[in-house]
Structure 1
Amino acid sequence: MKNEQKQKPPVEDSPAETSKMKKNEKFVWPWVGIVANIPTEVEKSGRRVGKSGSALRDELIQKGFNPTRVQPIWNFKGHSGFALVEFSRDFEGFENAMKFESSYLSDRHGKKDWENGSHLRDDKPYGWVAREDDYNRSGIVSKEVRKKRDLKSLSQIQEEDERKMNQLVENMAQTIEMKKISKQELEHKVNETSRVLKSLELHSAQLNQIYKEEAEKMQMNLQEQYKQILLGHEKSLSALERKRVELEERARQIDINEAEMEKSRREREMNQKAMWEQNEANKEAMNLAEKHQASSSLVGLFKEKEKLHKKIMEMEAKLNETQELELEIENLKRNTNVKKYMVGSDGDAEYMEKMALAKTQMELEARETALHEKMMALSQKERVTNDEYQDARKEMILFWNGNEDLVCEEKIRVKRMGQLNPEPFLTALKRKLRGSKAKADERAMEVCSMWEAQIGDVQWHPFKVDDSDGKAKNVVDKKDLKLIKLRNEYGEEVYNEVVRAKQELLEYNASGSYVTLELWNFEENRKATMEEVTDVMLKIRKDLVAKKNKRKRR
């Protein structure tokens, strides 16, 4: 309703004023009033001076005309006695301008009175709203009026405003449709991401279950292998014990054989000695026989006996060599069997166990690597989706901030996070100074600006970490000297406002320390969601379309 009132042409206070204003009468736009016959003085230098623009503006504000600016007109002699009074561009500014003109008309100090020469009889100022004749005439006043201004009738301004409003409605409708499509796409992406996340969670749970089962199975296999190894060791110990007994028995047999071989060797030596003695005796007998001319048959018998004895000696030597060779072969076989058994019973089992463990470890590492790659891909996709969401929110904030007149009465509006509200400062300074309102307002703005700069200082951190309840959080440092001085000098409300602004700045832009824009739900005092923002935009679009259709029916 407030916006509609601003867009309607003003209704004048009396029929007389209405009759004076023609339908197509052209005014200087943006609206500007002219004040003439402003009192001036001549300085020692010969230059005229008069009231400043700010002083004239304050006087007109106190009268309720609400000008935005007052510009004194100067010429080569100094202050010309004229000033231009600027009003806001909307119809509310036009109403203030007409009130300004009516005030001077009721006091007989309007434009006609000025032109009739009434100003020659008094020193009071005259005022009126600039129109076509003021725009087109010559002189320094008209020259200043024409700067950056134009002539327009009320109907032209209303038509232009309607055209702009229609264009704005069309643009908003297109933007809303685009944002709606973007929202649907984002929702689809979020749903798809959620589905993928759930699928990955399920897959991760399955992998964890498989890993658990494989680990249990591997543990059971290791235990079984350990039992088999123990059993194999026991069997190996038993076999070794049997081998040891056999080897000891063989060694004993070998020792016995060696003793028998030694005994046989001694007997052979004794036999050889006896045979040598016998041979010597035979030789002696043969000599005796030859000497006594014994018979030839006895000599032949002794010769055959000597040949037989040599053959026996050769056969016994070969037998000794054969027995020594067999003994050496048996020792070599015994050493070879012992080494072979030791390698087979210990090395092979340990090697097989290590190979099985290495294979299982490689399989687990491969599965873990695959899961990590999937999680990384999902995180990347989630980051891209979040960036798109943040870009859409920034565009929405820019659109919202550029159309504040349409959303000023909605619960969702743009909030400047970290910006101070000057109201507590105005209240505190009015209470403290108890003087002129203008001085209190000026001082309040200075103090507010000073504290805005202080809040933006990244070196100032009036908070400390409190973990008394088990959770670390930032709380106000009650020993901070600047906050203590602020509370003592300006009160609790100003203190709370500064703390609030600093906390918002740290939360929303801790690194930059400057005010940021955020869509805010003022009804619930929290950050607005994209769904809430879209609903409000659709509502505004519906209202604008309804107003447009209503104007067409008229």
Structure 2
Amino acid sequence: MGGHSHMNCWEDACYREAKNQKLEIEDPDAGCPGSDDGWNSAAKPNSDLVLDPTDQGEKIVFPWMGLVANIKTVVKNGKPVGESGSKLRDEFIRKGYNPMRVHALWDWKGHSGFAIVEFKKSWEGYRDALKFDKDFALMGCGKADDFSSLVKHEERLFGWIARDDEYQSTDVIGAYLRKKTDLKSLSDIVADGERKDSKLVSSLQDELTVKHGHLMEMETKYKEASVSIIELVSQKDAMIVSYNEEIRKMQQIVHNDFNKILVEHQRAKHELEARRTELEQSEKQLREREAHNENEIKKLHQQKEMNKRAILEQRNADEQLFNLAQEHQRAKEALHKKVIELQTQLDAKQALELEIEQRKGALQVLEHLEEGESPEIREMKEKLEEKEDELEYLFALNQTLMTKNEKVEQELGAGRKELINGFQGMVAAGRATIGLRKALRGKSKLSTEEAELWHLKEDREATVVEGVEYILRIWKRLK
């Protein structure tokens, strides 16, 4: 029927109250609405009325509607007109009927003298409709009372609940009710509510079962992700410990090499100063003896010239050693700075990877718990993409630093090759400490034979510092 389109979901809550529902109405003072004979006096409770089970099979208009008749009209421009429905609604609200609205009925002739009273679409509205019907009936202004003989003599309003007669009528009242409402018995309304409740409970149980399955699946994935994260953190800690230990060893080796160079430089400087003092004393003695041998004098001058050149060479060597020390210090600082940068980038990379894994886990949880793509999920996806871009940048930066580190190592290797080339023309004596030894570089068929510095007495590879010290000792003996 046409009224089905106006039934909304509010019925579901109303149906739950249908069982054992008790409806209370009050007995107003004498007098009909619209008259002044006691209608405005306060209504007092008469008795509690319980709905008779035999009435539950009677057809009634649903949603609840009341009918008001004998509304005063006047003729204007050849057509009857009457008061607006809002005025009647306000009056009925004051009387305790609580209507939602009052709709005056008009036809092609004009105002019909009737109005439809709409009550709340709930059992509370039904109670108000019963009160409305009983009040009018008790005061002789109900449906059973004949108002046709009083219409022209009294301005009394008549009212009652719309039922099957009004719904089936062929006038403007029936047309309105068939368009807006349905005919149902109270037992039908209760049965419909129970049937809808049963379907709702079944649907909710099925949905709960599905949600529980999703939750268990998410818990399993969460546990797996947690185990993976714990393993990553353990691996990261182990890598950091190993990396720090290697850095400490490298710094200790560099520090020891630099100290050896300084000690050797000081010793060579003291020996040269002692030699210069010795030569000066010899010159003084020769002058005191007033040597007359010209050859001795020339030899002495030659020795002085050689000493000057040696002093000049030593100064150059001192300057080179000083430059070497400065270069060594700068290389040490640059290496330490790169080590710190690499460690910082490694920590940032590991932390960012960990954060990305956690955000991916959280994003998967939200996608399973929520239907559709919520603003929170979109925001989390955007942040995850930003973190992945940042991880790519850190990876590229780490590769750049590793390339620079390899370049420094290649430069140090070039210095070592120069030292090896210096040893190529030297023949290792029986007491030699440092020499050259042929060694295979590479694997399988691609290996090549190359010369490397070797500590002959300890049978191990010699450092660059040890090679420099050995050359300095040989140079001093040959002076």
Q: Structure 2-normalised TM-score? A: 0.54
- In structure 1, list runs of 5 or more residues that go unmatched: 266-319, 399-554
Aligned equivalent of 1:124: 156
Task: Quote the Cα distance in structure 1 between the aligned partners of 2:302 and 2:249.
Answer: 54
Aligned partners of 2:64 and 2:120 also within 8 Å? yes
Deviation at 1:32, TM superposition (A): 1.5
Task: Quote the Cα distance in structure 2 between the aligned partners of 1:245 and 1:68.
Answer: 124
Aligned equivalent of 2:189: 157
1:167 maps to amino acid: K
Task: Quote the Cα distance in structure 2 between the aligned partners of 1:325 and 1:226.
Answer: 38
Deviation at 1:125, TM superposition (A): 1.5
Aligned equivalent of 2:67: 34
Given the alignment of the two structures, is residue 109 of structure 1 paired with residue 109 of structure 2, yes or no? no
Task: Quote the Cα distance in structure 2 between the aligned partners of 1:15 and 1:7.
Answer: 12
Task: Quote the Cα distance in structure 2 between the aligned partners of 1:357 and 1:16.
Answer: 97
Cα separation, partners in 2 of 1:155 and 1:210, compared to 1, 3 Å: same
Over the residues paired in the alignment, what is the CA RMSD in angstroms?
A: 4.8
Deviation at 1:142, TM superposition (A): 1.9
Of residues 313, 321, 343, the one that matches 1:345 is 321
Deviation at 1:110, TM superposition (A): 2.2
Deviation at 1:351, TM superposition (A): 3.6
3-state SS of 2:144 partner: helix
Cα separation, partners in 2 of 1:325 and 1:145, compared to 1, 3 Å: same
Aligned partners of 2:22 and 2:51 also within 8 Å? no
3-state SS of 1:70 partner: strand
Deviation at 1:382, TM superposition (A): 3.4
Residue-by-residue CA offset, 1:131-190 (whole Å, 9 max, x unaligned): 233223222222222223233333333332222212221222233233334444555555
- In structure 2, list runs of 5 or more residues that go unmatched: 1-12, 24-47, 375-479
2:63 maps to amino acid: P
Aligned equivalent of 1:138: 170
Cα separation, partners in 2 of 1:374 and 1:212, compared to 1, 3 Å: closer
Task: Quote the Cα distance in structure 2 between the aligned partners of 1:3 and 1:74.
Answer: 32
Given the alignment of the two structures, is residue 54 of structure 1 paired with residue 65 of structure 2, yes or no? no
Task: Quote the Cα distance in structure 2 between the aligned partners of 1:200 and 1:211.
Answer: 16
Aligned partners of 2:101 and 2:118 also within 8 Å? yes
Given the alignment of the two structures, is residue 64 of structure 1 paired with residue 109 of structure 2, yes or no? no
Of residues 356, 377, 402, the one that matches 1:380 is 356
Given the alignment of the two structures, is residue 8 of structure 1 paired with residue 19 of structure 2, yes or no? yes
1:178 maps to amino acid: V
Task: Quote the Cα distance in structure 2 between the aligned partners of 1:17 and 1:7.
Answer: 13
Of residues 340, 343, 350, the one that matches 1:367 is 343
Residue-by-residue CA offset, 1:326-379 (whole Å, 9 max, x unaligned): 889958963774366335633444444444444444344323222212212332
Task: Quote the Cα distance in structure 2 between the aligned partners of 1:229 and 1:343.
Answer: 13
Task: Quote the Cα distance in structure 1 between the aligned partners of 2:180 and 2:333.
Answer: 88
Task: Quote the Cα distance in structure 2 between the aligned partners of 1:236 and 1:7.
Answer: 113
Aligned equivalent of 2:207: 175
Cα separation, partners in 2 of 1:55 and 1:185, compared to 1, 3 Å: farther
- Between Structure 1 and Structure 2, the one with more strand by share is 2
Aligned partners of 2:56 and 2:185 also within 8 Å? no
Of residues 103, 115, 138, the one that matches 1:83 is 115
Cα separation, partners in 2 of 1:22 and 1:348, compared to 1, 3 Å: closer
Aligned equivalent of 1:486: none
Task: Quote the Cα distance in structure 2 between the aligned partners of 1:18 and 1:166.
Answer: 23
Task: Quote the Cα distance in structure 2 between the aligned partners of 1:386 and 1:158.
Answer: 46
Aligned partners of 1:68 and 1:86 also within 8 Å? yes
Of residues 310, 324, 342, the one that matches 1:334 is 310
1:375 maps to amino acid: A
Aligned partners of 1:69 and 1:87 also within 8 Å? yes
Deviation at 1:5, TM superposition (A): 5.6
3-state SS of 1:6 partner: coil
Aligned partners of 1:9 and 1:91 also within 8 Å? no
Aligned partners of 1:9 and 1:158 also within 8 Å? no
Indicate the percent of aligned positions where both proteins have the same amino acid: 31
Aligned partners of 1:6 and 1:90 also within 8 Å? no
Aligned partners of 1:70 and 1:86 also within 8 Å? yes
Cα separation, partners in 2 of 1:209 and 1:263, compared to 1, 3 Å: closer
Cα separation, partners in 2 of 1:52 and 1:384, compared to 1, 3 Å: farther
Aligned equivalent of 2:9: none
Aligned partners of 2:56 and 2:187 also within 8 Å? no
2:188 maps to amino acid: Q
| Higher mean C-alpha displacement, 324-333 vs 91-100 | 324-333
Task: Quote the Cα distance in structure 2 between the aligned partners of 1:375 and 1:116.
Answer: 91
Aligned equivalent of 1:495: none
Q: Structure 1-normalised TM-score? A: 0.48
Task: Quote the Cα distance in structure 2 between the aligned partners of 1:47 and 1:3.
Answer: 42
Cα separation, partners in 2 of 1:16 and 1:205, compared to 1, 3 Å: closer
Task: Quote the Cα distance in structure 2 between the aligned partners of 1:14 and 1:262.
Answer: 156
Deviation at 1:215, TM superposition (A): 7.1
Cα separation, partners in 2 of 1:16 and 1:182, compared to 1, 3 Å: closer
Task: Quote the Cα distance in structure 1 between the aligned partners of 2:171 and 2:238.
Answer: 91
